[in-house]
Amino acid sequence: MARPGRAALKEQRYDRQLRFVQLRSIESWAPQYWRGSYGGHREDLGSGAFLVRRDRELDLNRAQSAMELLQELNSDVSGNFVEESPEKLLDNDPSFFNRFNLVVATQLPESTLLRLAEVLWNSNIPLLVCRTYGLVGYMRVVIKEHTVVESHPDNMLEDLRLDKPFPELTEHVQDYDLEHMDKKDHSHTPWIVIVAKYLIKWFNEKSEQLPKSYKEKEAFKELIRQGILKNENGTPEDEENFEEEAIKNVNTALNHTEVPRGIEELFNDDCCPKTHGAVIHFIITRYREKAKKDIAAVGNHAAKLLQSLGKDNPDSEIVLYLMLRAVDRFYKQHGRYQVKLINKGLLDAPFTYIPSTTHVGSCFKFAPEEGIIAPGEIQTIQISFNATVVGYFDEQFQFSVAGSPTPVILTIKGCVHRPTLHFDVDELDFGDISFGFPFTKTCRLTNTSLVPVTFKLRVSDDGTQPAVSSFDQIRSDSDPSWRKGIHFSVKPREFTMNPSQGTILPQGHQDIEVTLCPNTVTEFCRKLLVDLEEIGEGVASLVLQARCFVPKLQVYPPILCIDDCCLKVPFERRFFIRNNTHLPGCYGLIPQERKEDSPVFYSSPKPCGIVQPQSTAEIPVVVEVQTLGRHRTRVPIGVFGDERNPLGIELQSYGKLSEIYPSPRLIEFGMIPVLQPNSQNFILFNEGLVPKYFRMKIVCKPHCYVIEPREGVIPADGAVPVTITATLDDTGVFDDVIQLFIGNSLWSILLLQALGVGSTIVIDKPFTPELNLGYQFR
């Protein structure tokens, strides 16, 4: 097959540029440009936008093959490929992505995209997320918002109606006589008047249309310039209202006046009444006439009612001066109103209020309820309303008048509302909380009604006995709850609010602190309820959610060895409480129940405390051996909230009378490199009056330890220092025992502990930057 010419190669490169812009049908391996660990196959050559039919590419991974041809797009393209998956890069080297200005991700799972987006978000690097489905796809951008503030925004086109001025504007413009003004008035003429003035001149001399083209607008500007005053030498004066205002605004002020489309559609709608003439006068006249008609209708109706009741005689007329038709009050709110009884007759009119028998009517009180109104006089009736129902009402109240067969009717209509309150959040989620550790969150309760409200807060299903916090618990190590748990006679009150009650003014708010001190290992789902005094309970609510846990604490060392103890001599040691969780913990060393035959007494000057998340706390313990011999003593440590599973350590002690003993009894090497010697020291004491012969022996792995001296004599009332050197032959934990013989008797033992680290593979020459083998001859 002939080699393709230069033109063909150029066409291939151009074709790749086009396909780079519109990638299609490569969803199966498009992301592999980056994850280049997949080898190419023959079918890839048919759908790959950046592969050509070359047999050598079948053995290369697809990223390498595509990158070679991508770099041919133009001379400025450069790139590289990495044979690694995004997941492994995020696990091992997330900073890898910080070297890019833009990252494009395709066909990645959501979990990987979320991790990648978080890394790039913190580094302010844009992420393009692409996904294709045949010819359909989407692209999303993940980047922090970049706010741009335009300090000089372009104004909208002005609607000055200069081409169709209303009569008042035309009259105002005509009042300015620019040709006969003095210099001061001429230079202070508003620019809009200048434009309108010369626009009339334009219409008269040039055209009946507004200047539209650039040429026409320049001609109109020149027309305005001709109106600038000139001095004696013929030089134009410096008039800013002409040059810098009128001429400058020609481009924006000369707009064709038209009714906005939305308003035009509104007026053309069938529901819009057709109005003509002077609209303002029409509206005023219309409503004035309507008011007159309404007044006449009401008067005629009232006259007919009075006539039907036999009250058309003015000598015995008593009427209500005011009718209440809109009583809008709040539940349990007291309101006061007043009406007036007028006697328009010629005789005294005794009246009496007839009590209402309805539930709503009983909420109204009238004062006075009876009396006598002289002719032509007015009696004011005070009405008090204490709403005890909610909703709309329409009540009629009757007043009997002496000599009248029918009572006078007072109608009161209105609506009673319940005060409205709401929280600023839908729920308070405390998250994970440690047992006995108070946690506080805040919310806001707003009174949206027009009256003050007195509220009380409570939590559903909450108890009454105060909860116990960890800070109170650590004050006493003798509290029985360390052993038996917290005992409540009633259910604990784990939620507290501050304030728990109060008054909120109309349209006001109250910030509330909600504190949860959990004393129950459970998942909380409660409601914060708002009760309003004399109104109702639970008028507003807020969901409270939380999860209470007891953190898992660890104690070490699990075995605390103490050297030979002289009887009844206190020794102080320390052990540690480790908290590897994300919650704080509360612990306490449970006091010893001492008895007369107890071989060992123990106590602590600081038995209780709090260990923070990912931290370690220290507990000092004082041990006093009471009897001879070896003893094992269990020391329990309580965890607040988990009394069923106390922690503990074992005290190993040896009581003796002063004579021969090693110190210390525990030799700890810690972490030491393997195959390298490491030494520790201890001392053999002889408090007796006779020298003693001794020898020592390693029990398990004597080849790993060297004791110097291994045997000898301890002088009377003297001491012998001993050095033990460990050379570990493997990694891991080494536990061994040194046996101390006095004469031919096993007298005591010492414990050895070590942890081997490193490698057991060594070379006979040290590593250097290069290894020079020198000249070699065959």
Enumerate the domain spans of the chain. 6-142, 159-274, 313-417, 421-549, 550-656, 658-778
User: How confident is residue 612, by pLDDT bands cut at 50, 70 and 90?
Assistant: very high
**pLDDT class for 96, splitting at 50, 70, 90?**
confident
Mean pLDDT for the chain?
A: 79
Separation between Cα atoms, residue 572 and residue 243, nearest integer Å: 97
What CATH class has 658-778?
mainly beta
- CA 592 to CA 467: how far, in whole Å? 27
Does position 316 have pLDDT exceeding 60, yes or no?
no
pLDDT surpassing 80 at residue 516: yes
Q: Which residue in the block uniquely carries the two structure tokens 């790959």? A: 48
The rounded distance, in Å, linking the Cα atoms of 738 and 746 is: 11
Structure-token pair, residue 191: 């620019």
Distance between CA atoms of 24 and 43, rounded to whole angstroms? 15
Task: Convert the pLDDT of each residue in 108-165 to its tens digit.
Answer: 888 899 899 999 998 889 999 988 777 788 888 998 887 777 666 555 556 777 888 8
- pLDDT at 333 exceeding the cut of 70: no
Measured distance CA(655)–CA(220) in Å, rounded:
118
**Tens digits of residue pLDDT in 734-772:** 999 999 888 777 778 889 999 998 888 877 666 666 667
Strand order in the sheet with 585-589: 559-566, 647-656, 629-639, 585-589, 608-611
Is 45's pLDDT higher than 50? no
> What is the CATH code for 421-549?
2.60.40.10
Residue closest to 326 by CA, chosen among 335, 317, 318: 335
- Whether pLDDT at 708 is above 90: yes
Residue 299 has a pLDDT of: 64
Q: Across residues 342-360, what is the average pLDDT?
A: 84
323 pLDDT above the threshold of 60: no
Q: What is the per-residue pLDDT across 165-188, written as a single tens digit (0 to 9) for each?
A: 888 888 888 888 888 888 888 888
How is residue 71 written in tokens? 């770099």
State the pLDDT confidence band at 459, using cuts at 50, 70 and 90: very high
Alpha-carbon span 387 to 330, nearest angstrom:
7
Cβ neighbours of 289 (radius 10 Å): 10
> What are the Cα distances from residue 196, in Å, to 161, 164, 169, 220, 229?
10, 11, 9, 12, 18
Percentage of residues of the chain with pLDDT beyond 70:
79
Give mean pLDDT, residues 198-212.
84
The two domains 6-142 and 550-656 share their CATH topology (first three levels equal): no
The DSSP code sequence of 43-60 is THHHH-TT--S-GGGGGS
CATH superfamily placement of domain 6-142: NAD(P)-binding Rossmann-like Domain (3.40.50.720)
Q: Which residue has the higher pLDDT, 491 or 303?
A: 491
CA dihedral angle for residue 353, residue 358, residue 360, residue 363, rounded to 10 degrees: 50
* Contact (CB, 8 A) for 620 and 592: no
Residue 684 or residue 269, greater confidence: 684
Cα 235 to Cα 426: distance, rounded to the nearest angstrom: 74
Question: 478 versus 10: which is more confidently predicted?
Answer: 478
Per-residue pLDDT at 474: 86
Which CATH code is given to the segment(s) 313-417?
2.60.40.10
pLDDT at 33: 37
Angle 518-519-520 from CA coordinates, rounded to 5°: 95
Per-residue pLDDT, 458? 94
Q: Are 638 and 590 in contact (CB under 8 A)?
A: yes
The answer, yes or no, to whether residue 545 has pLDDT greater than 90, is yes
Q: State residue 548's pLDDT score.
A: 94
How do residues 406-438 score in pLDDT, each as one tens digit? Answer: 888 888 877 777 778 889 998 999 999 999 999
When pLDDT is averaged across residues 326-344 and rounded to a whole number, the result is 59
- Collapsing DSSP to helix, strand or coil, 195 comes out as helix
Residue 570, SS3 per DSSP: coil
For residue 388, pLDDT beyond 70: yes
Query: Residue 584: what pLDDT?
Result: 94
Look-up: residue for tokens 């300090």? 151
The CATH superfamily holding the domain 550-656 is Immunoglobulins (2.60.40.10)
Average pLDDT of span 572-590:
91
Residue 461 Rama label (left phi>0; alpha psi -120 to 50; beta)? left
Q: Give the model's pLDDT for residue 34.
A: 39
Q: Is the pLDDT of residue 49 over 50?
A: no
Question: Measured between alpha carbons, how far is 237 from 240 in angstroms, rounded to an integer?
Answer: 9
Residue 54 pLDDT exceeds 60: no
pLDDT score of 618: 92
Check residue 61 and give its pLDDT.
66
Neighbours of 105 (CB within 10 A): 20
Q: How confident is the model over 469-483, as a mean pLDDT?
A: 81
**Higher per-residue confidence, 260 vs 530:** 530
Residue 612 is which amino acid? Q
